[in-house]
């Protein structure tokens, strides 16, 4: 029974993602990105049928297990795009440092001003990096890795949905600006969105994602200790 339940929820998750990915290809609006629509439907299904998180995670854990290898795989786009990284090294490293600092500080002050407890404050500073790194940063700073996932999803989905509108509003069309904005603010979800703009945008976004993950993992704990 347990095995059947595990495969059922794994199948449902993958099926929903495939369906909504196809729907997004037919209706390519920002708010139709699969990670958003799939998540909303899953939440509705689980709450409607009173399915506990532990029950769902019996199947979802297999997807979660891929997060570890995924973070190691970030080294590949960095190596593959090393020429691009070298060509725009000043612009890229300046943007990565700025994005990392703004991501940490904006999360910290937002949580403090909102009156959240120390655990939330320690967790939210990792919101602008990819999930595996955010969970590790949250663990190092005394936060809660499970909450880190939520903050990462909010940042990722928010950036992927509002990014195209902001680019149009601000007249941003350069591949470097688009790629770094998506990678630095919305990590993997933003990188998937950047791919819709072109291969160069996606390459720059993957570089931004990887370097911001490294930068935040180093600066996050240090800054939190300094400003707390």
Confidence band of 1 (pLDDT split at 50, 70, 90): low
Percent of the chain with pLDDT over 90: 22
- pLDDT over 70 (residue 71): no
Q: Which residue has the higher pLDDT, 94 or 75?
A: 94
Task: For residue 29, give its domain range.
Answer: 2-65
- pLDDT over 70 (residue 78): no
Q: What is the pTM of this model?
A: 0.80
Which of 32, 49, 65 finishes a domain?
65
Q: Give yes or no: residues 59 and 75 share one domain.
A: no
- pLDDT over 80 (residue 28): yes
CB 224 within 8 A of CB 122: yes
Q: How many domains does the chain have?
A: 2
Percent of the chain with pLDDT over 70: 95
Cα of first residue to Cα of last residue in the chain, in angstroms, is 49
Tell the residue number behind the tokens 């369906």, with chain if given: 19
- pLDDT over 90 (residue 145): no
Q: Give yes or no: residues 119 and 215 share one domain.
A: yes
Q: At what angle do helices 34-48 and 53-64 cross, to 10 degrees?
A: 150
Q: Give yes or no: residues 105 and 61 share one domain.
A: no
Neighbours of 120 (CB within 10 A): 18
- pLDDT over 80 (residue 43): yes
Q: Give yes or no: residues 28 and 77 share one domain.
A: no
- pLDDT over 80 (residue 72): no
Q: Give yes or no: residues 53 and 81 share one domain.
A: no
Which class for 200: exposed (0-12), middle (13-18), buried (19 or more C-beta within 10 A)? middle
Q: Give yes or no: residues 76 and 42 share one domain.
A: no
- pLDDT over 70 (residue 77): no
Q: Give yes or no: residues 75 and 19 share one domain.
A: no
Q: Give yes or no: residues 53 and 82 share one domain.
A: no
From the list 218, 209, 208, the residue with the least C-alpha distance to 130 is: 209
pLDDT, residue 181, reads: 93
Cα dist. 116→108, 112, 121, 149 in Å?
10, 6, 7, 17
Q: Give yes or no: residues 160 and 86 share one domain.
A: yes
Q: Give yes or no: residues 137 and 218 share one domain.
A: yes
Which of 12, 38, 65 finishes a domain?
65
Q: Give yes or no: residues 76 and 130 share one domain.
A: yes
Q: Give yes or no: residues 102 and 34 share one domain.
A: no
Q: Report the Cα 100 to chain-centroid distance in Å.
A: 13
């Amino acid at each position: 029974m347990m095995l059947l339940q595990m495969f059922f929820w794994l199948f449902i998750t993958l099926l929903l993602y495939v369906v909504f990915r196809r729907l997004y290809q037919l209706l390519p609006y920002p708010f139709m990105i699969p990670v958003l629509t799939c998540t909303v439907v899953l939440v509705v299904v689980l709450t409607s049928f009173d399915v506990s998180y532990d029950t769902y995670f019996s199947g979802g854990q297999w997807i979660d297990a891929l997060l570890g290898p995924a973070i190691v795989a970030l080294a590949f786009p960095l190596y593959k795009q090393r020429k691009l990284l070298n060509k725009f090294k000043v612009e890229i490293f300046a943007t990565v440092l700025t994005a990392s600092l703004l991501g940490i500080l904006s999360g910290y002050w937002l949580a403090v001003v909102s009156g959240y407890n120390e655990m939330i404050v320690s967790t939210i500073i990792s919101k602008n990096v990819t999930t595996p790194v955010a969970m590790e940063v949250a663990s190092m700073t005394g936060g809660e890795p499970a909450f880190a996932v939520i903050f990462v999803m909010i940042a990722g989905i928010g950036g992927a949905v509002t990014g195209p509108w902001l680019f149009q509003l601000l007249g941003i069309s350069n591949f470097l600006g688009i790629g770094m904005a998506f990678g630095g603010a919305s990590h993997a979800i933003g990188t998937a969105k950047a791919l819709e703009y072109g291969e160069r945008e996606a390459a720059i976004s993957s570089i931004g994602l990887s370097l911001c993950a490294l930068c935040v993992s180093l600066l996050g704990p240090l800054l939190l200790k300094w400003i707390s």
